[in-house]
């Protein structure tokens, strides 16, 4: 299976256990590379040490594609478990279309049959009607975004690739939060960008470790990625953190790249500030329909350039060439965007109420035992559990699967720094969540 297909399938289908196959611990990708690449090239080293399956094949392809695609023990165990046809309590689901939410089927399907889709109106930024709908989403949040600064893309991942291509030459660096979700390594590999991590620290809540962030900056650092709120920690960047990011990035001519796919899912019902109207530093804001409206299959997302006017005009002009080269978003989906965005209200209501009920059930169960706890969660679709670190979290996940029929993400999948963490999805259907967490906690 092609790797990109594999990764997308893995992430959007909620079968992240398969992607986990790429991310065994100890992960060679986390160790800084020294010296030359395998075949004696003088090129600057790639960030990820290639692990060739077969030397002949690895000579024929670009080094950036020398990924280790072998399954790990957890994904093998899952495959065996599924093949045996045993019932699975899957606490890793992330595909909203498979979680029992109600969608307005006719509104969604009717929106896709707009006769205007019979003609082709190429526009690198995307159709104006769709960009107006995106600007309307921000206007409702009281953020003013010009439609001239919006670019439609097929996914947030594609938006990342446009940003990486706009900002980085091969070997340039971007900072990413740790923990965070696992696609960044692949996105960076494909664009020949190097990643450095800045830690998020947990102390009754998550915060950015600014000392470590500043230490990680080198002359080749082009930007800082902020996932707002982060997946899986659920941490929103706070006003003071945003101000500090602005001053660090503007002083060093770096950009903020803000991933806001979970922005609407604040648990306390508050409206978190978006980076879309940020003026304090060069900023790219990314979001899309896969989470906001629960429509990952529609492949509709966007990228907004923001920040100081002169920088923004330059960024928009460069992005326009990249976007014009692909013109990747199809007409029916662009024409349907106003309706798809309108669908977010009904979707949001269902998701937030499920997340709150699942968290309340989890807290009720946690109160009845002492071995496990959960970390504070402000928003997003996941919760991090702290469990006794009696072995690796991968071993624990395998044991939960084979003895309890419960599937969870080991913390290392999201780069949690130590063993003793599991991540579970809060959008899991409630009966499965209650039974799965009950079996998990009773086995500790």
Shortest Å distance, C-beta 182 to ligand PLP: 9
Compute the least distance from the CB of residue 432 to ligand PLP, in Å: 20
Angle at 124 between CA 337 and CA 127, to 5 degrees: 30
The piece of 52-60, 149-157, 308-316, 357-365 that touches ligand PLP (CB under 6 A) is 149-157
| Whole-number Å distance between alpha carbons of 162 and 120 | 23
Which range in 69-77, 150-158, 217-225, 309-317 contacts ligand PLP by CB under 6 A? 150-158
Residue 157 binds to ligand PLP (criterion: CB under 6 A): yes
Q: Is 133 in the site for ligand PLP (CB under 6 A)?
A: no
Minimum Å gap between C-beta 84 and ligand PLP is: 28
Which of 216, 255, 261, 362 touches ligand PLP (CB under 6 A)?
261
Angle at 358 between CA 354 and CA 360, to 5 degrees: 115
Residues 84-113 that bind ligand PLP (CB under 6 A): 94
Q: Which one of residues 21, 199, 296, 379 is an interface residue with ligand PLP (CB under 6 A)?
A: 296
DSSP 379: B
- The Cα 53–Cα 69 span in angstroms is 9
| CB of 296 vs ligand PLP, minimal distance in Å | 5
Sign of the Cα pseudo-torsion (124, 129, 130, 132, in order)? positive
Copy the structure tokens of residue 436: 């799965």
Q: Does 288 bind ligand PLP (CB under 6 A)?
A: yes
Report if residue 178 touches ligand PLP, rule: CB under 6 A. no
The full DSSP string for 50-117 is P--S-HHHHHHS-GGG-------HHHHHHHHHHHTT---EETT---GGGTT----HHHHHHHTT-GGG
Nearest CA-CA partner of 33 in 52, 50, 48 = 48
Q: Assess 355 for contact with ligand PLP (CB under 6 A).
A: no
Query: Which range, of 77-85, 128-136, 165-173, 288-296, touches ligand PLP by CB under 6 A?
Result: 288-296
Q: Minimum distance between the CB of residue 347 and ligand PLP, rounded to whole angstroms? A: 15
- Name which of residues 215 to 244 contact ligand PLP (CB under 6 A): 227, 231
Contact 384, 421 (CB under 8 A): yes
Pairing of strands 283-288, 301-306: antiparallel
Looking at 72, 156, 283, 293, which residue binds ligand PLP (CB under 6 A)?
156
Binding site for ligand PLP (CB under 6 A): 11-12, 94, 155-157, 181, 227, 231, 259, 261, 288, 290, 296, 301
């Amino acid at each position: 299976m092609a790797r990109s297909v594999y990764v997308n399938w893995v992430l959007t289908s909620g079968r992240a256990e398969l992607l986990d196959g790429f991310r065994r611990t100890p992960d060679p990708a986390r160790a800084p590379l020294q010296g030359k690449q395998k075949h004696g090239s003088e090129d600057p080293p790639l960030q990820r040490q290639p692990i060739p399956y077969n030397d002949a094949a690895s000579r024929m392809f670009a080094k950036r594609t020398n990924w280790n695609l072998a399954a790990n023990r957890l994904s093998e165990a899952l495959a065996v478990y599924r093949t045996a046809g045993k019932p699975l309590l899957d606490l890793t689901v992330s595909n909203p279309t498979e979680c029992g939410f109600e969608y307005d089927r006719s509104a969604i399907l009717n929106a896709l049959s707009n006769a205007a889709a019979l003609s082709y109106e190429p526009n690198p930024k995307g159709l104006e009607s769709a960009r107006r709908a995106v600007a309307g989403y921000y206007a409702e949040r009281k953020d003013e975004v010009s439609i001239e600064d919006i670019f439609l893309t097929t996914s947030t991942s594609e938006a990342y690739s446009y940003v990486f291509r706009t900002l980085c030459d091969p070997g340039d660096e971007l900072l990413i939060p740790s923990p965070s979700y696992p696609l960044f390594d692949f996105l960076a590999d494909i664009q020949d960008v190097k990643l450095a991590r800045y830690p998020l620290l947990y102390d009754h809540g998550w915060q950015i470790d600014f000392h470590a962030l500043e230490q990680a900056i080198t002359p080749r650092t082009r930007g800082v990625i902020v996932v707002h709120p982060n997946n899986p920690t659920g941490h929103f960047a706070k006003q003071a953190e945003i101000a500090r990011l602005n001053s660090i990035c503007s002083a060093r001519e770096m950009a903020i790249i803000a991933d806001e796919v979970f922005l609407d899912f604040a648990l306390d019902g508050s409206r978190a500030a978006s980076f879309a109207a940020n003026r304090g530093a060069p900023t790219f804001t990314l979001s899309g329909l896969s989470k906001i409206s629960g429509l990952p299959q529609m492949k509709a997302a966007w990228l907004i350039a923001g920040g100081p006017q002169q920088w923004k005009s330059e960024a928009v002009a460069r992005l326009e060439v990249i976007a014009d080269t692909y013109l990747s978003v199809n007409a029916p989906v662009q024409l349907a965007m106003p309706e798809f965005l309108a669908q977010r209200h009904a979707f949001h209501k269902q998701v937030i109420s499920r997340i709150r009920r699942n968290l309340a059930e989890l807290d009720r169960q946690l109160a009845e035992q002492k071995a496990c706890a959960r970390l504070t969660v402000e928003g997003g679709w996941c919760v991090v559990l702290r469990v006794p670190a009696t072995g690796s979290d991968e071993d624990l996940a395998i044991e939960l699967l084979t003895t309890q029929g419960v599937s969870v993400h080991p913390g290392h999948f999201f780069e949690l720094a130590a063993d003793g963490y599991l991540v579970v999805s809060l959008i899991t259907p409630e009966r499965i969540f209650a039974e799965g967490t009950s079996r998990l906690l009773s086995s500790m």
